[in-house]
Amino acid sequence: MKKRKITFSGGIMLFMPVVFIYLFSTWPSYEFYKPDESQLLVSLKKRTEKSHLCDEKEREAFMEEIASKPKHMQVVHRECGSRGRVPLELKIWLDGKESLTKVIKPAGLRSDGVVFVYEKFTFQSGPHDIKITMRDFKDDPNMKVHVFQEHIDFQPRKVTLVTYTPESDALLIHN
């Protein structure tokens, strides 16, 4: 068999994958969000309370125990109480309708880390009533409840981020 030059049809066959790439490297395009959609994003992290806090007596015993240890073993950061922390309860209302209720466990095998929240809601842009409440999930009537309640005019294709910082100790819109 002689070696033959690539023929015309061969050229076409070789260019088939090229046409394939030509097309599918960009086409068809896809619309991830419609022009009139908006998004509410709640993204935050919060350190909740320990699930067991010491009372006076326990604290005294704890301090004594620490004091009895040699100096180099007196861990400065240790606090009295359990390692584990309580979950966080999060509730979100959109236009008065309860859209999310979630009790989120802290990170870590012993639940001793922070609680992470990442929730998003996509809806028609325009004015909406948003209410978010957040509290450490504990059987304690005095526990502080963080409330975010606002009437927001959501701009088309914009993301409104609500977050929490320990400094402000409040739920706020991130600018």
Partner 1 sequence: MEAERDHVKEMPKEVAKAVKAKKAPKYIPWILRPGNYALVFVQEKFNWVFTPQLNPLYFLGSITFLLFWVALASGIYLFLFYEITPEKAYSSVQYMTEGQKYYGGIIRSLHRYSSDGLMIVIIVHMIQVFFSDRFRKYRWVAWVTGAAIIPVIWFEGVTGYFLPWDEVAQMTSIAMSQIISTLPISAEPMERLFAHNDAVTPLLFFIMTYLHLAVPCLLLILAWVHCMRISMPLITPPPQITYTILAALLVLSLVKPAVSAGPADLGSLVGEVNIDWFYLGVFVVFDYLDLAGGHALFWGGVVYTGFILLPWVIRDPKRHEDSIATVPQVDVRVDLEKCKGCPLCQQSCPFEAMILVNRKDGKNYDTQAEVIPAHCSQCGFCVNACEFGAVSMGGWNKGTFHDFVTKVFTPAPDGNGESIPTSIAFICERSFNLEGFLTDDCMRVATTPDVGVMVIPCIGAVSPSLVEHCFEVGAKGVMVIGCRGLDCHYREERRRVHISKEDGSHKFMVESIDDNRLRIMLVSPLQIEKIRQEIDEFNEEVKQGVAS
Asked if 43 interacts with partner 1 (CB under 8 A), we say: yes
Q: Do residues 172 and 163 make contact, with C-beta atoms less than 8 angstroms apart?
A: yes
By C-beta, is 59 or 105 nearer to partner 1?
105
Q: Do residues 19 and 12 make contact, with C-beta atoms less than 8 angstroms apart?
A: no
CB of 40 to partner 1, least distance (A): 11
Contacts 24+ apart (CB under 8 A), 135-144: 135/88, 135/89, 136/48, 136/49, 136/86, 136/87, 136/88, 136/89, 137/48, 137/86, 137/87, 137/88, 137/89, 137/103, 138/49, 138/51, 138/86, 143/49
DSSP, collapsed to helix, strand or coil, labels residue 145 as strand
Asked if 9 interacts with partner 1 (CB under 8 A), we say: yes
User: In the set 55, 151, 158, 165, which binds partner 1 (CB under 8 A)?
Assistant: 158
By C-beta, is 25 or 68 nearer to partner 1?
25
Select from 157, 163, 133 the least CA-distant residue to 42. Answer: 163
Asked if 107 interacts with partner 1 (CB under 8 A), we say: yes
Q: Do residues 66 and 79 make contact, with C-beta atoms less than 8 angstroms apart?
A: no
CB of 151 to partner 1, least distance (A): 20
User: In the set 45, 59, 135, 138, which binds partner 1 (CB under 8 A)?
Assistant: 45
Asked if 62 interacts with partner 1 (CB under 8 A), we say: no
Q: Do residues 99 and 121 make contact, with C-beta atoms less than 8 angstroms apart?
A: yes
Asked if 70 interacts with partner 1 (CB under 8 A), we say: no
User: In the set 54, 66, 81, 116, which binds partner 1 (CB under 8 A)?
Assistant: 116
Q: Which residues contact partner 1 (rule: CB under 8 A)?
A: 1-4, 6-7, 9-11, 13-15, 17-18, 20-22, 24-35, 37-39, 41, 43, 45, 107-108, 113, 116, 118, 122, 157-159, 161, 163, 174
